[in-house]
Amino acid sequence: MKQIKRQHPTDVSLFWCPKCQTYKKKGDFAKRAKDKNGIQSRCKKCNNNLIPRYPRIEKNCLVCGGLFPVKPSQYDIRKTCDRKCQAKYYSGKIKGRQKTHLSDKNLIWCSNCKTFKIKECYGKRKNRLYGLSSWCTECNNRKSSERYYTLDKDVLRKKSRERRKLHPEVERAKRKRDKIYRPEKIKAYAKKAKAKAVKELKDHYLISNMKRCGMPITKETVELKRQHILMQRTLKQFKEWREENEHTDYRNVQTEQ
């Protein structure tokens, strides 16, 4: 049997429907992205007339009372027609407890800390009941911080560096915002970072000191400066130790044999 071409040989706008055995316009077919021509094999009319694989049974919605089609296997499971009715139906049946408080409707149950809290304590979530998350923000933050700190610190540092390189504008805006709203935190962080740089004698700390003195900055001079500061520190420690043990008489001290 000779196979008929999908597209009409003379008219490009017409396509073959194998069910009704006729050429029809492209608008008479439903869309399909995977297909070569971007349409389904059968036309819309033939698709509508197809017999379903399994019979459908109509059932009354327990909330709005309207009829909706259900598979025979889901007849006892499905109780509502759509998600809105489902949310209303299950509003008082969430894990054996009411989501809202009986007397005050502004209070909502948190399933993690097992307490009623105000609506403002919850984050927004469209696919959930009342458009709010089931956990309060405090519980969510605690859980996310636990997950974050269980990861390897080197991996986290690497990720943060990559993020700063990709989005430098976001980091700048964040620092400006922190300077306005959290100046104490920034001061404490800067103080801590400076103390760490002084203790470990990092390159940027040594270079800033050398710039003040007007010294030439090379790798060799930076290393010499580091050695000079280490010698000064050891001398200081030695002087402190000598002052503490100035009056001790070492002749009377018995050495262990």
Q: Per-residue pLDDT tens for 152-164?
A: 778 888 888 898 8
DSSP 4: P
pLDDT in the model for residue 235 = 92
Interval 66-115: pLDDT, tens = 888 888 878 778 888 888 888 777 765 444 445 777 677 788 888 888 88
Q: Vertex 110, ends 107 and 112: CA angle to 5°?
A: 165
pLDDT in the model for residue 94 = 42
| Cα end-to-end distance, the chain, whole Å | 111
Q: Which is more confident, 249 or 26? A: 26
Residues in the chain: 257
User: Which backbone phi and psi does 39 adopt, to 5 degrees?
Assistant: -135, 165
Indicate whether this model's pTM tops 0.85. no
CA proximity to 87, closest of 137, 125, 49: 125
pLDDT in the model for residue 227 = 92
Mean pLDDT of 178-189: 85
Give the pair of three-digit tokens for residue 40. 């389904």
Strands (E), 13-64: 14-17, 22-25, 29-31, 39-43, 57-60
pLDDT in the model for residue 9 = 83
Secondary structure (H, E, C), 189-245: HHHHHHHHHHHHCCHHHHHHHHHHHCCCCCHHHHHHHHHHHHHHHHHHHHHHHHHHC
Q: Vertex 228, ends 225 and 232: CA angle to 5°?
A: 140
Interval 118-153: pLDDT, tens = 888 898 887 776 788 888 999 998 888 887 777 777
Interval 191-246: pLDDT, tens = 888 888 888 888 888 888 888 888 888 989 989 999 999 999 999 999 888 888 87
pLDDT in the model for residue 101 = 74
Most confident stretch, 3-17, 49-63, 93-107: 3-17
For the chain, state the CA radius of gyration: 38
Least confident stretch, 1-10, 21-30, 233-242: 1-10
CA proximity to 37, closest of 60, 13, 18: 13
pLDDT in the model for residue 252 = 56
